[in-house]
Amino acid sequence: MTDLASAGPADPDLFWIDTPEHRRWLRNQAGALLDFHRAALGPGPGFQNLAVDGSPLPSTLQELHLTTRLVHSYALGKLLGREDGDAIIDRGMDLLWNSHRDRQHGGYLWGIDGQTAADPRKLAYGHVHVLLAGSSARMVGHPDADRLIADVTEVLDQRYWENAPGLLSDEYNRDWTPFSDYRGMNANMHGAEGLMTAYEATGRQVYLDRAGSIFAFFLYGKAPENGWRIPEHYTGDWSVDRDYSGDPMFRPAGTTPGHSFEMGRLLLQYWDLTGRTDDRAPQTARKLIDTAFEDAWDSDRGGIFYTLKHGGSPGIRDRYWWPVTEAIGAYAALLKMERNRQDETRYRQLWQFAASHFIDTDHGGWFHEVDDKGQPTATQFNGKPDIYHALQACLFPLSPALSHIAPSLQDLPSA
């Protein structure tokens, strides 16, 4: 685990995002993540799942969100000036088109093993990540990006986008027969992320308009009705389903503060892209972000509780890396708007906890979970499957922008 003192200068009067020491540390952390996860490339044809020490795990299952996040992350690395990620981008784009894409029924399979449909579900969550990957690949000039964007956009239009509520539906069988009427915030949140990235990559207004529709429903409708916490689960008619309790990891009961951090930051990106004309956005983002921190920061042990009950008390007290990374990105966004002392204090707290508990200086990468004593554990995640959250926590504070963050990385001074 990394030395706390190296995260930034101790001077309380400085804002870390302005200091060369902290910015250098962020770039070094981003580089270390890109170095570690390059081991996913392996001999092929797919990606290797990585153990804690970076060695390959036995499982050869390829999940759609991890394939797409590798493409997106190494595209960000390329924009930052790294020239060693092209093979990962190329392989990921090939996997998406030739293995995840369902040539029989259309759309993209959630889990593949070679050419076998190991998990043939068609999830909106996965498809919006395909849009994210294609859009990021377009920003680095990948020759197959346009066809991927066009194909997944058509699928989203025909299968998932519901015009009446202006939201994305959620899940289907391989042949597009529905297996539930579940509707969820998470797929829509990542939908807004993918749609705004597609807008930044292509300039097509429809992507931005649809992102705005998602924010209007969840952030200007549901969040203020629910104490500035965002209900996760909905019925087929988009009524809040307060009794829903699905998978305790991926669809837990209650609300998820990590998603409030993420949605707050994404709302500020949308506000910036639309010319900063809606005066509600900054205050809405702040209410989401501050409420999540005040509800979920573990004052005894540090870190962020994974879930909350609907009234805001802790639900699942487990502490994962990704809510901390999303809180870092959220407070970095607030600091870009205004150098605020409370935001700076929380930004430092978050990085200090991440540095002392999640960053693995022995092997590289980030641990994904810590136990009650703050030691790395693995009750939900096998190995270190994901680069996306930690990499973005390092890169978002480096960019001075609220939107167009990916292309802005090209303009940063060299390390």
CA–CA gap between residue 15 and residue 12 (Å, rounded): 8
CA–CA gap between residue 359 and residue 348 (Å, rounded): 15
Token couple for 280: 């509600």
CA–CA gap between residue 59 and residue 49 (Å, rounded): 7
Note whether 192 and 266 are within 8 A (CB): yes
Q: Is 150 helix (H, G, I), strand (E, B) or coil?
A: helix
CA–CA gap between residue 414 and residue 204 (Å, rounded): 31
Note whether 234 and 241 are within 8 A (CB): yes
Residue 304 dihedral angles phi and psi, to the nearest 5°: -115, 125
Q: Which residues are catalytic?
A: 259, 389
Give Cα separations from 360 to 25, 54, 73, 272, 327 (angstroms). 15, 11, 19, 35, 20
CA–CA gap between residue 280 and residue 284 (Å, rounded): 6
CA–CA gap between residue 167 and residue 338 (Å, rounded): 32
CA–CA gap between residue 174 and residue 106 (Å, rounded): 9
Note whether 77 and 29 are within 8 A (CB): no
